[in-house]
Structure 1
Amino acid sequence: MNKKELIAAMAKKTGGSNADALRNLEALQDVIKSELGNGGKISLTGFGSFKVSERKGRTGRNPRTGAEIKIPACKVVQFSVGKELKEAVN
């Protein structure tokens, strides 16, 4: 499912318009980005939770040349699946 299909499905489920669903989806994305950008965590009971963790810098290898390269430390977003979502998928 792509973004356009998701918006159509949300509009159908809520009985609203595609424009309303698009605004809601974009608002959700903005809130998630903002909260995670500030180092926060978002928990949606039954669905899952988003959090930011730090990945340490490390040494890697260039697959073409075999030369060592330094991979810098960075922050990554992690998603943990909630119980209800996990059961729905299985």
Structure 2
Amino acid sequence: MNKSELVKALAEEHMLPIDEAAMMVDTFFDCLRDAMVRGERVEIRGFGSFKVKEYKSYLGRNPKTGSNVAVPPKKLPAFRAGKELKDVLNV
């Protein structure tokens, strides 16, 4: 399912105009992103949690040339599924 399919499903489920459903979905993802930018953990009970993982810099290797490459520190989003979601998937 992609974003437009999610908007369509929301609109059909709650008999909303597509524009209003799109605004709701956009607002949800904007809030999720903004919280993660602030370094906050976002937990959606029954679904899972999102957080930002920070990785230190390290010395990597270019697989094509074999030369050493300095990889800068970075932050990446991480998702951990909740127990209820895991249970539903493993029925």
Above 0.5 in TM-score? yes
Q: 1:64 corresponds to which residue?
A: 64
Q: 2:88 corresponds to which residue?
A: 88
Question: Unaligned regions of 5+ residues in structure 1, if any?
Answer: none
Q: Which amino acid aligns with 2:9?
A: A
Q: Deviations over 1:53-81 (max 9, x none)?
A: 21111111111111111111111111110
Deviation beyond 6 Å, 4+ runs, structure 1 = none
Q: 1:5 corresponds to which residue?
A: 5
Q: Which amino acid aligns with 2:89?
A: V
| 1-structure distance, mates of 2:47, 2:30 | 19
Q: 1:51 corresponds to which residue?
A: 51
Normalising by structure 1, what TM-score? Answer: 0.91
Question: Unaligned regions of 5+ residues in structure 2, if any?
Answer: none
| 2-structure distance, mates of 1:87, 1:15 | 30
Cα RMSD of the aligned pairs, angstroms, is 1.1
